[in-house]
Amino acid sequence: MSKHEFPNNRIPIEKDNPSITRDEEKCIVCGQCRRVCREDIAVGKMYDLAKTGDCAICINCGQCANICPVNSITEVYDYDKVKKAIANPEKIVIFSTSPSVRVSLGEEFGMAAGCYVEDKMVAALRALGADYVLDTTFAADLTITEEASELVRRITQKDKPTPQFTSCCPAWVKFVETFYPEFIPNLSTVKSPIGMQGPTIKTYFANKMGIDPKKIVNVAVTPCTAKKFEIKRDEMNASAEYNNSEEMRDMDYVITTRELAKWIKEADIKFTALTPSEYDNLLGRGTGAGIIFGNTGGVMEAAIRTAYFYVTGKTPPDNLLNLSPVRGMDGMREASVPIGDIMVKVAVVHGTANAKELIEKLQSRELSYDFIEVMTCRGGCIGGGGQPKVAMPITDEVRKNRIAGLYLKDEQLSIRSSYENPDIIAVYKDFYGEPLSELAEKILHTVYDTKASMLMKGLEEI
C-alpha cells in the first residue's frame, strides 16, 4: 500500500519537497494537480510509484500549486526566514529580482496583468528592510554572455554535441537528468541567472562594496518554485570555495512573487501608494535582452543577439532584435537564423510535455537543431509556479499580457543586447576576465548528474 493518499486522483508530494507542500485539510481531491502534471508537464505519467519505492518524482515546477483551486498545494514559504535575517543586525540582506516578477506582482494589488511595476516593487522591498535591491536581469545578461559564447564554440569548434539546450530553467534541467540523462552533454553548462547572481554578489559585489561576504544573506525574488530546489543543489556554492567558507551558499533563500505579495500585505504596506524607488548601483542594471528572459523564446532571442555580435562583430539587425518566429504561444516554434556565414537552426519549446515530444523526434533523427530553448512552464517564467493566481485557472490572456509587458520594456530600452551592458563589461574587466575564462568556468558554470536511478530504486537506496 502506498504512503501517498489518493495516488490515482492527485499527484503525490514528498514531505521534504523543498518547493511545494500540500495542506491535507484543504484538499478536495479534484484531480487538477494530477491533470497538469500528466498533460502539461508529463512527469506524472513518466514514472510508477511501485518502481520508485513509493517515492514521488517531482521536478519542482509548481504548476500543481498554480492550478490548485483551493490553495491546498502552495510553495514552501521561506519569507519568515528572510524576515529573521532582516531583524539580525549582523546580516546584510540583499534582494535580487527576476524580470517576470515586475509584470505580475501588481496583479496582487488590483493592477492589470502585464503592468510594469519595477519601481514600486523595489520600493516595497526597501520598506520590508532590504539593505540592497539588485536586478537579476544583470545576471540574465551574464548568463547570455556565457551561453552565447558556449554556443559559438560548440558550433565553430564542435567541442561538445549539438543541439545545445538552454539550462536556465531548473525544472527542465532536472527533467533531463531524470528522464533523458543521455542528453546531459547537450545541456549548456552555464548556470541560471539566479545561479550566477548569488556567487557574483558574494565575490565581486562584496569586494567592490567592502562587505564581508559571510554577513550577506542573498534572497532571490522569482516567479519560480523550482528555484527553491535549485539553490540547494550541491554545486550551488561556488562562493564558498572562493571565500574559503565551507558553509556558504551562493543564494540563501528564494521567495516567489506570491510570497512577496503575501509579505507586503501582512506588513500593511500600501503597494500602489509607494513612492517609486530604483535599484542600487552595481549589478542593478540589465538590458532588454535580460528583460525578455522571462518569456518563452526570450532566452533564445537574447542569446542570438549576442552570438551574432561575437561571430560578426556587428550590431544585430532589426530582424534579430525582434525575432518574431520564436515569439508567441505555440508549444514549439523554430527558425533558421543567419549569423555571418553560419545558418543556425533553432527551436523554442515550453511545457515539458512538448519537450518530451521534441526529444523523441531528436532521438529518431526526425528533427535536428543547433540550439534549443526549453521552459517548463507555459509562457515561460511569466507563467511560473509561484506567480499570482488572481485568475483561476490562469488564462493565456494573462500570460500574453505579462509577455507583452516584457517585450514593451525591451523596445523602450536604449541597450537591448547583453554584450553592451556597461555592468557586464565592467564585471569581466575587473573580475571574470572574459567569457569562458578559468574563473568564469569555476563560478558561472556547473555540471549535471543523472537522476535516472530514482525511477527504478526503493526509498532506502535513494
Residues tagged active-site = 147, 150, 168, 188, 227, 230, 235, 381
**All 3 cell numbers of residue 363?**
532521438
Which residues on adjacent β-strands are paired with residue 20? Answer: 75
CB 297 within 8 A of CB 406: no
Q: Which of 268-273's residues contact partners 24+ apart within 8 Å by CB, and which partners?
A: 269/124, 269/127, 269/128, 271/106, 271/108, 271/109, 271/120, 271/124, 272/109, 272/110, 272/111, 272/120
* Among the listed residues 37, 44, 27, the one whose alpha carbon sits nearest the alpha carbon of residue 385: 37
Q: How far is CA 128 from the centre of its chain?
A: 24
* C-alpha–C-alpha distance, residues 290 and 298, integer Å: 8
* C-alpha–C-alpha distance, residues 420 and 406, integer Å: 19
* C-alpha–C-alpha distance, residues 384 and 63, integer Å: 7
Identify the DSSP state of 184: G
In this structure, which amino acid lies at residue 99? P
SS (H, E, C) 344-384: EEEEEEECHHHHHHHHHHHHCCCCCCCEEEEECCCCCHHHC
